[in-house]
Amino acid sequence: MSITFGADRRADDLSLLPAVRRVALATSDAARSARDSAIRTRVLLRNAGVPVVRLFAPEHGLHAAAPAGAPGAAARDPLTGLPVVSLYGERFAPDPESLRDLDAVLFDLQDVGARPYTFAWTMTHLIDACAAVRIPVIVLDRPNPLGGALGSVEGPVLEPAHCSFLGRHSLPLRHALTLGELARLWQRERRPAADVRVIACHGWTRDLLWPATGLSWTPPSPGLPAWDAALLYPGLVLCEGTNLSVGRGTSHSFQAVGAPWLEPAAVIGRMEERVLPGLAFEATTFTPTTGPYAGSECHGVALFALDPGEVRPVSAALSLLADIASEHPRELRWTAYPTAANAAGEGHFERLAGTRGARLAIEKAMTGDGAVTPAVLARLTASPGWADRWQAARIYE
C-alpha cells in the first residue's frame, strides 16, 4: 500500500476540513506531496481550493535553508504570493493580529523524530496561541522517519529544569511519535481546552523507517541532507553542546564527529570494544563550513548504519562522547551555542540531553573517575513512564 500524507488526503477529500473561509498554514519547502515530491503542499492545498491566506515558517525558514538557530523574518512567498510570518526569532508563536481573521490553522512540517528538533515545539506554541483565541489547529500528519516502534525509543526523558525551545515537554530524545501524535499528547497533557485535530497519513505503520516507505528524502533543514543523518541525529546532536564538529556543511553532516585535535584510531579502538548494534566506525577527515572549526580540517569518526533498524543513536553518541573524553580529557570542552531561542547559548548540552546526568557521566570519563559502562548507558537512555504515554498518544498501528 502506498503512503499518503495528511496534506494529500485533504487535497483529495474536502470533507476532511471543516467549512472555513480563511486559514493559515505552518509549513516549509520540505513539506511535499507524497505522490509527487516536486509539489510543495502549500501549492497542492491552494490548488485543491483550501483558502490559505497566510504562511507561518519555523526554524530554517519557509525555504528550509536558513542556518540552525538563525532568526527568521517576515517575507513573501514567491510561489504563492502569500505573506510569511516567522515563528522563530522575534516571536515563537503567532501574535493575535496574525490569528485575528482566521477560521483555522493547518500545520504541515516534516519532523525527524527527535526531541531537540524544534518543529514540534513550534507546533505546541501554535496550539497554545490558537487555544487562547479558540481557533482549531489541524495537523496534516506525516510519518516519523525514524519509525514508530516503542522498542526504538531512547531517553533521557526531558526533566523540567532543562525545558527550552529544544524541548517544552517531557519526551525521550527519540520518542517514536509523529507530529500528529505529539499534538494529541500536548493537548491531552498540557492544553485540554485546545481544539487539536489530526488528518492522519494512510499506509504508514510503526515498523517503517523512511527508506522502507519508498519516498524520496527532502531535507527539512540544511544539517540533515540525507536520511542517514536524520537516523543519527537524536544522538549526535548532543555533540553540539561540546567543542566537537558534527560536519555541518559537508556530506558528513550528522554522520561524523571530529576536531583538529582528535585522534580517530584511538577513539575507534575504544568504540569497537563496545556492543553498539547496527553500526560501523571509520576514520575520516572533513572541513566544516559552519560551527566549530569552520574552514579547518577536522579528524573524525564516521558512523555508518549497517542495519538501520538496530541502530540506537543516543547510546552510540553517549559512548562516543565518553570515549573521546577518555582519550582527550584536556581538549574536549562544553561550549555555549547561541541561537535566536537562547541568545547566550548557555546550558546547551543539558537542554539537548534533557538531564544533568549525561554530562556528569561524561565528566567522570574525562577525569577517570568512572566509565560509561553498558549499565550506565542503560540508565541514561531509559525512558521511565513513556510507554504508557506513548500508547495513549498513538494513532497508527
The domain spans of the chain are 6-143+178-213, 227-380
Q: What is the SS3 assignment for 226-251?
A: CHHHHHHHHHHHHHHHECCECCCCCC
Q: What is the pLDDT of residue 370?
A: 85
Copy the grid coordinates of residue 31.
513539506
Residue 1 has pLDDT above 70, yes or no: no
Q: Strands 23-26 and 52-57: what pairing?
A: parallel
Question: How many degrees, rounded to 5, is the angle at CA 186 between CA 2 and CA 313?
Answer: 60
Please give the grid coordinates belonging to residue 364: 567522570
pLDDT tens digit sequence for 365-382:
999 888 899 999 999 999
Q: How far apart are CA 298 and CA 284, in angstroms?
A: 8
The C-alpha atoms of residue 310 and residue 308 are separated, in whole angstroms, by 5
- What is the predicted pLDDT for the residue at 138? 97
Confidence band of 111 (pLDDT split at 50, 70, 90): very high
Q: Which residues pair with 285 in a beta bridge?
A: 299
Q: What are phi and psi of 163, to 5 degrees?
A: -65, 145
pLDDT of 318 above 90: yes
Average pLDDT over residues 54-76: 97
Residues 324-369: pLDDT tens digits? 999 999 999 999 999 999 999 999 999 999 999 999 999 999 998 8
Residue 192, pLDDT score: 98
Does domain 227-380 correspond to CATH entry 3.40.50.2300? no
Q: How far is CA 88 from CA 129, 170, 342, 361, in A?
A: 14, 21, 11, 33
Q: Kindly indicate the confidence band of residue 19, based on its pLDDT and cuts at 50, 70 and 90.
A: confident
- On the question of a cis peptide bond just before residue 143, with omega within 30 degrees of 0, the verdict is no
- Tell me the C-alpha distance between 174 and 380, whole Å: 13
| Residue range 6-143+178-213, CATH number | 3.40.50.12170
Contact 7, 44 (CB under 8 A): yes
Looking at the predicted structure, is the pLDDT value of residue 38 above 90? Answer: yes
pLDDT per position as a tens digit, 235-292: 999 999 999 999 999 989 999 999 999 999 999 999 999 999 999 999 999 999 999 9
Indicate the average pLDDT of the chain: 97
Count other Cβ atoms within 10 Å, centred on residue 171. Answer: 27
Q: What is the pTM of this model?
A: 0.97
pLDDT at 371: 87
pLDDT at 18: 79
Grid cell in block for residue 327: 582519550
Predicted local confidence at residue 267, as pLDDT: 98
Which of 11-15, 57-61, 161-165, 283-287 bottoms out in mean pLDDT, i.e. has the lowest? 11-15
